[in-house]
Amino acid sequence: MGRSRESKGLILEELKTSLSEAQLTMVIDYQGLTVAEISNLRRKLRPTGTICKVTKNTLMGLAIAEDSGWEPMKSLLSGTSAFLLVKEDIGGAFKAYQEFKKESKKTELRGGVLKEGTKGQLLTEDQIKAIADLPSKEQLIAQAAGAINAIAAKLARSINEVPASLARAVDAVARQEEKEAA
């Protein structure tokens, strides 16, 4: 028995909401996966804030139709599709998926779409991996703070060195005058 028009409408609204919160969607072929394996994938993705949605391609097609940023995903909508909707931690989500893929050996990543504003970029698995390997926002902030701290420390040492150098110079002049006087 098929779903009612109302239940499809609710699913569609839920998909649109999930997509509006995501910055990356990875599309995987889940053919051959059991319900337990899908649950395991969801469990691995949960700490990264990623949602795994298994839905019909036609419903996902309707959900992305109104948002031009997700338009490139149309080329990935074929076969049995599961959608990994990544909100924040792209690196963590990709690593969790790779770990799951290594365990199950039953799934393939078709590609993904990275959305920035109203534009979307179709990505291959290698491109997603390259993005996932980039340092996180927190790591970049820590690196910048470390660099700023190092500059401040050098500046403080330099400023402290000026009076010390002046004191050594005055002391050297005083010793010189003492020698000449003696």
The model's pLDDT over 125-171, given as tens digits with 9 standing for 90+, comes to: 888 888 877 776 777 788 888 888 888 888 888 787 878 777 888 88
- pLDDT for residue 127: 87
Contact criterion met (CB below 8 Å) for 113 and 70: yes
Angle at 27 between CA 23 and CA 32, to 5 degrees: 145
Out of 44-53, 78-87, 90-99, 153-162, pick the least confident: 153-162
* Proportion of the chain above pLDDT 90, given as a percent: 31
Torsion sign across C-alpha atoms 47, 33, 35, 74: positive
**pLDDT tops 60 at residue 1:** no
- The pairing of strands 119-123 and 108-116 is antiparallel
pTM score: 0.72
Angle at 77 between CA 64 and CA 27, to 5 degrees: 85
Query: Mean pLDDT in the chain?
Result: 86
**pLDDT tops 70 at residue 2:** no
